Structure 1
Amino acid sequence: MEAVSSLFRMVKVFLTVCSFYLKLGFIHLARWYEPALRTKGKYNHSIVVLGDDHALGVGGYSTLTAGSGIASKLAKELAKEAAIRQSWQIYNRGEYKTSTEDWLLPADSKRKDKPELLSKVIQDPKYLRAEIVIIMLGSQDVLKRDPTLTPQDTLRNIELICQALRRTGNNSKSIYLCTIPTAGDDTFLTEEQRADNLTRNRLIQDYVKKNEEGVLAGLEIDLASNFEMKRRNLYWQDGRHFSDIGYGKIAKDWIPIIRPDMVKREFLLFRSDLGL
């Protein structure tokens, strides 16, 4: 009987792992299907969501044509907004298990194998034209062993990423920086690691408050800053990644933050086209 139970547990674990990687495969493929907000307007704008698992949409529902993460959910929510009258393309540039170090420009990285993710983004014209950039990074930094990333390293990397984005592409772009999700930290991290994540979020919040480089406060999606994120149904079965419900909530919470920015940009484009 013990052998049967053990075999059953092994099969269950195997199927769970297979399901996860199949789901991850769909998410990666769905990322290339970028849903656009279609309206009656002829003017086009774009938003880029870049970052780690949470930007990619790990834990959420996805098909090959449904898109993934908040990029997909945000497009659906914006389609309901009467104040948004032009077309917005929302690109998902999340990358699985990436740290802030993985998103540095090669010149800013101390690693021997230089990262290329940010270089590829800022070299691609469709991302380069983006008027709004949403950054969801930092959740993997606490897990890095080689090199170990301290909270101060995380902030410095984020600063360098924001500076690189500010120097390239649309000069008037808005950069929004989210706090680091901390759901599951009590289960998966040591006391020291949990303290480091709290410090990371405090440093991020202080950084956007100073607004010295034009980086704006995005959503606070950590448990300490936002009590609404404590609902269990917002998270996938691992307790760390957001569920489809979670990504839906995040997308809805983004609307009041970026709606004024989007409306302003639509008006400026319309006004410029009329020669006013």
Structure 2
Amino acid sequence: MEAISSLIRSVKVFLTVSLFYLKLGFIYFARWHEQKLRTKGKYNHSLVVLGDDHALGVGDYSTLTAGSGLAHKLGGELAKEVSIRQSWQLFNRGEYKTSTEDWLHPADSKRKEKPALLTKLLQDPKYLKAEIIIVMLGSNDVVRKDPSITPQETVRNLELICQALRRTGNENKSIYLCTIPTAGDDTYLTEEQMADNLTRNQLIEAYCDKNSDGVLPGLKLDLASNFEMKRRNLYWQDGRHFSSTGYAKMAKDWVPLVRPDMVKREFSLIKSDLGF
């Protein structure tokens, strides 16, 4: 009887893991169908969501053709905005389980095997001309072992990433940096690791407030600084990644933050075209 119960548990684990990776495959496949808003006229703009699992959309509903994550949900919300009148392309450039080390330029990394994510991103013309970049990165740093990443190193890595984004491509871009989501920390992390994540977010907020690199504060996605993120239905079954409801709320919260920026850019393009 015990052998049968053990077999059933093993089958359940296998099916759960298989379904998760199938879902992850759907998310990556659906990224080919990038979200486009208001394809009227000749004026075109772009926005990139860059980062880890939370940028990619792990936990969101996904199919082979339906997008997922913030980029997809934000596209739907912005499509309702009458003040947004030009064409905006929204790109999902999240990468599963990546840390801040994975997004550094090779010269800035301590790893023997040098990362290439940011280098590849900045070699693509469609991302180079992005006018708005949302960075959601750092949640995997707490569990990275080789090399280990301290809170101070996390923020230093984020600074280097934002500096690289600032000096490459569109010179007039806006970069928004979010705090690290901390839902599920009490389940998956030790007390020391939880304290480290708290420190990470405090340092991220201080960096954005300092604004020395022109980086703007994005959404506060951690439980300590945003009580609205404590609702259980905002998270997927693992209690850590956002659910479809969570990504939808995140997208709605982003609209008042990026709408003035987008409208200003649209107006600036019209003025420039008219010679004002």
Q: TM-score, normalised by structure 2?
A: 0.98
* Matched position secondary structure for 2:16: helix
Give the aligned partner of residue 116 of structure 2: 116
2:66 partner amino acid: A
Classify the secondary structure of the residue corresponding to 1:89: strand
Distance (Å, rounded) in 2 between the aligned partners of 1:39 and 1:21: 33
Amino acid at match of 2:202: R
Q: Which residue identity does 1:25 align to in structure 2? A: G
Return the alpha-carbon distance in structure 2 between the equivalents of residues 6 and 114 of structure 1.
42
Structure 1: give runs of 5+ residues left out of the alignment: none
User: How many angstroms apart in 2 are the aligned matches of 1:151 and 1:4?
Assistant: 45
SS in 1 for 2:7: helix
**Map of 1:79 onto structure 2:** 79
Secondary structure in structure 2 of the residue aligned to 1:92: strand
Once the two structures are TM-superposed, the CA of residue 39 in structure 1 deviates from its matched residue by 4.5
CA contact 1:33–1:64 (8 Å) conserved in 2: no
Equivalent residue number for residue 11 of structure 1: 11
Tell me the alpha carbon deviations over residues 239-273 of structure 1, each in whole angstroms, 9 at most, x when there is no partner: 11111111111111100000000000000001111
Alpha-carbon shift at residue 7 of structure 1 (Å): 2.3
Q: Distance in 2 between matches of 1:45 and 1:146?
A: 39
SS at match of 1:17: helix
Aligned to 1:232: 232
Paired position in structure 2 for 1:193:
193
Question: 2 CA distance for matches of 1:149 and 1:111?
Answer: 11
Q: Is the 8 A contact 1:41 1:85 kept in 2?
A: no
Aligned position for 1:132: 132
Secondary structure at 2:122's aligned position in 1? helix
Q: What is the alpha-carbon distance in structure 2 between the residues aligned to residue 132 and residue 37 of structure 1?
A: 15
Kept in 2, the 8 Å contact 1:134–1:177? The answer is yes
Structure 1: distance between partners of 2:202 and 2:41 = 41
- The AA in structure 2 aligned to 1:143 is V
Q: Residue 157 of structure 2 aligns to which amino acid in structure 1?
A: N
What secondary structure, in the 3-state scheme, does the structure 2 residue paired with 1:58 have? coil
Q: How many residues align?
A: 276
Alignment map for 1:122-201 (pairs within 5 Å): 122-201=122-201
Aligned to 2:202: 202
1:207-243 Cα shifts (integer Å, max 9, x gaps): 0001111000000001111111111111111111111
For 2:97, the equivalent position in structure 1 comes to 97
User: Is the 8 Å Cα contact of residues 185 and 194 (structure 1) preserved in structure 2?
Assistant: yes
Q: In structure 2, how many angstroms separate the alpha carbons of the residues matched to 1:13 and 1:144?
A: 24
TM-score, with normalisation over the residues of structure 1?
0.98
Shift of 1:64: 2.0
- Aligned pairs (5 A) from 1:30-41: 30-41=30-41
Where does residue 247 of structure 1 map in the other structure? 247
Correspondence for 2:221: 221
Corresponding position of 1:66: 66
Give the Cα separation in 1 of the matches to 2:240 and 2:257: 24
Cα distance between partner residues in 2 of 1:226 and 1:243: 17
CA shift at 1:48, angstroms? 0.5
> For residues 195 and 32 of structure 2, what CA distance do their matches in structure 1 show?
36
Aligned-partner Cα distance in 2 for 1:104–1:121 = 11
User: For 2:23 and 2:54, how far apart are their aligned partners in 1?
Assistant: 14
Displacement of 1:63 in angstroms is: 1.5
Q: Determine what percentage of the aligned residue pairs are the same residue.
A: 77
Which residue matches 2:26? 26
Q: Distance in 1 between matches of 2:193 and 2:41?
A: 49
User: Aligned with 1:15: secondary structure?
Assistant: helix
Contact 1:182-1:197 within 8 A present in 2 as well: yes
Matched residue type, 1:102: D
Q: Which runs of 5+ in 2 are unaligned?
A: none
1:182 Cα deviation after fit: 0.2
